[in-house]
Amino acid sequence: MWNQPVSAPGGPTPPHAQDAAGLPSLKVPLVMTIAGAVTLAVGVCLFIAALRITPTVLPQNDVAVKHDGTAVVLVLLKDAEYGLYSSDTGISCEVFDPADKTLDVHPSRAKRRDGHPQVLGFRSTTAGSYTVSCDGNDKIIINRALLSPERTRGDAMLRASFLFGALGLITTAASAIWLALRRRRRARVVMSRLLGSPPPGVPAPYASPGSAPGYVPAPYAAYGPNGMVQPTAPAMPTTASSPQQSAPPQGGYGLAPQQVVYRPLPPPDGGQGA
């Protein structure tokens, strides 16, 4: 066929499931196992990174801010998103950084698990002391923001980690089982070569119906890269030669004896009885 591989000079090209030595190949299942393990490792790394970059909002980190407009000085981190939480959704706040510059305070609607809703949010510039003043009808607390670019990236990485982890786990498990089965089959073929017996699934040779009497097929000698090594032609059984028939005895003077034929005499009286 035009799309079939060209046979090598030493024999036919081995199938895709075999290596150059004619043994079951471990290349594909091994590559799949490694790929699955790498995918699983990527999922684990993404999960760890998502946990590290996602800000954690803990109730013990809440700091109360007076809601009568009194300024409060707070020490904040560098380039971090903070939220102002209150049950009063109409609060207004002003924030000044360590350089006494007014920061942008934007609406940010979210709700914590403990029931405190986030109303406003702002982002710090440098680490240092910040001045915060708010007006409202209910108590106000400040903490890390629920809504932030870091949390958005962390959520995306967390979802990706679950996808990569599940795909890597399934691929690794399936490929490992495939590799174990292929190794077992490979060991069987190696043992069959050492013992000189056909591998599983290959019938042993039998004498053909038209073979000569006494013909016994030669056993499998070995299995090479291209299958069974063709055994040498078995020797045909030799039968004992029949002794040569001796020549008939010859008479004297080198002449064969004459054959004598005896004929009965005719009855008397013309062939009629008395």
Our measurement of the distance from residue 157's CA atom to the centroid of its chain's CA atoms, rounded to an integer in Å, reads: 25
- Helix H segments across 60-148? none
CA dist., res. 112 & res. 55, Å (int): 13
**Structure confidence at residue 170 (pLDDT):** 94
Most confident of 10-14, 107-111, 145-149, 216-220: 145-149
CA dist., res. 167 & res. 43, Å (int): 9
pLDDT at 216 over 60: no
Residue 44: closest CA among 168, 170, 153:
168
Residue type, 37: A
pLDDT tens track for 33-44: 999 999 999 999
At residue 210 the predicted structure's pLDDT band, cuts being 50, 70 and 90, is low
8 Å CB contact between 152 and 108: no
Which residue do the tokens 């950084």 mark?
97
CA dist., res. 40 & res. 157, Å (int): 14
Token code pair at residue 226: 């291209």
pLDDT tens track for 124-140: 999 999 999 999 888 89
pLDDT tens track for 17-67: 665 666 777 888 888 999 999 999 999 999 999 998 888 888 888 898 988
pLDDT at 231 over 80: no
CA 23 to each of CA 17, 80, 185, 199: distance values in angstroms, whole numbers, following the listed order: 8, 60, 9, 11
